[in-house]
Amino acid sequence: MTTVLSGGADPLISLTGVSKRFPNGTLALDNVSMTVPKGQLLSLIGLSGSGKSTLMRHLNGLHKPTAGTVQVFGVEVSSASNKQLRSVRRNVGFVFQQFGLVGRATCLENVLSGALGRLRGPRYGVWSYPRTLRREAFDHLERVGLAPQAYQRADTLSGGQMQRVAIARTLMQQPRLLLADEPVASLDPESSAQVLELLLKVATEDKMTVIVTLHQVELALGWAHRIVGLRDGRVVLDQDARGLSQTDVMEVYRRVDRESELLATPNMSAAAPTTERQRA
């Protein structure tokens, strides 16, 4: 496990002192530093508003940091040119809580839009994509079990099915890194389990590095190598998932509940850098 955890000489992602202050004054990330090695399954936990989504969006340049640097695949995302940024994004799959499908378009069209990064020029409608890509899109739909729905409009599907289409769209990118932001938060328990299982399966089969934010702690512990807890934009927990108990993890949530800053701050924020240094 430790070999997977350690960043090694060539980490896939490395953040150094990343802070993000939004125009409205909110400090969403506060001096976050971490590295993620290739092949790791990392789970980000924390309350809503703790900065998880913001952190994810820094990794593919949807947000730019106010301070610090974000490196993905060795590219400095925070100062990358549009072209570099697009090439980073092409290799980073992003699965959203709200799926981000175009409801009026068919599933096949939605999956095909995942190939736009590889193509030049705007495309509209299935016919505007090369036939090889259409075949590929069909394959990905098959992989997520939705080939029969290829020509159905995306908004006729159930939530779980929509998220699977979104995963197929991500597969179309053949990503090296997969970011999943609350991928199952708007699904019922049964579909959640299905979607998470699928996500894990394709990620391991295709040897992707995965960062996923989850509300369900037991799920996070179940399949992640490493757990990182965020609170108020700061890393307050960063440990090997093995050996972590659910109650340990719940601390990340509970301490905020009590709003008792005095108790929370010293232990946790001190703990995080040490654990990381120990690992490295």
Partner 1 sequence: MTAAHVEPLARAAGNRLPRAPRKWQSKALLAVFVAYVVGVVWSWTYIDMTLLTLFGGFTELWNLVVDMVPPNVDNMRVVLKATVETIWMALIGTTACVVLSIPLAFMAARNTTPNPVVFAVARAIITLTRALPTLVLAAVLTLPLGIGPLPGLLALAIHSIGMVGKLFTEAVENTEAMSREAVTSTGAGKWQTVLATLVPQVTPSFIGTALYRLDINLRESAVLGFVGAGGVGFVVQQHLRSLDYQRAIAAVGVIFVVITLIEVVSTRLRASIIGDHLSSPTKKTPRTMARERRDHRLLVDAVTTRRLTPPWTYERLVRASAGVIYLVLIVVAFATIDIPYLSALGLGDEVIDSFGRLFPPDFTTAGPELWQGIRETVAIGFIATTLGLVISVPLGILSARNIVVNRFVYGTTRLFMLALRGLPELIVAVLFVAAMGLGPVPGTLALTVGTATFMAKLIGDALEEVSPEPREAVFATGASRAQEFVTSVIPQALPNLVSQTLYMLDVNLRSSTVLGIIGGGGIGFLLLSALRVLQEPTVGAIVIVIFVIVYSIELIGTFVRWLVE
Residues lying near partner 1 in the complex (CB under 8 A) are found at 60, 62, 86-94, 96, 98-106, 108-109, 113-119, 121-124, 126-127, 131, 134-135, 138, 147-152, 166, 169-170, 172-173
Burial class (CB in 10 A: 0-12, 13-18, 19+), 210: buried
Least distance from partner 1 to the Cβ atom of residue 197, Å: 22
Burial class (CB in 10 A: 0-12, 13-18, 19+), 97: middle
Least distance from partner 1 to the Cβ atom of residue 24, Å: 17
> With respect to partner 1, which residue has the nearer C-beta, 109 or 238?
109
Least distance from partner 1 to the Cβ atom of residue 146, Å: 10
> With respect to partner 1, which residue has the nearer C-beta, 122 or 243?
122
**Tokens matching residue 237:** 């927990």
Least distance from partner 1 to the Cβ atom of residue 10, Å: 22
> With respect to partner 1, which residue has the nearer C-beta, 68 or 100?
100
> With respect to partner 1, which residue has the nearer C-beta, 110 or 239?
110
CA gap 29, 235 in Å, rounded: 9
> With respect to partner 1, which residue has the nearer C-beta, 150 or 227?
150
Crossing angle of helices 159-172 and 189-205, rounded to 10°: 10
CA gap 156, 210 in Å, rounded: 29
- Exposure of 70 in the CB half-sphere (CA atoms within 13 A): 26
Least distance from partner 1 to the Cβ atom of residue 115, Å: 8
**Selection from 234, 240, 246 nearest residue 270 by Cα:** 234
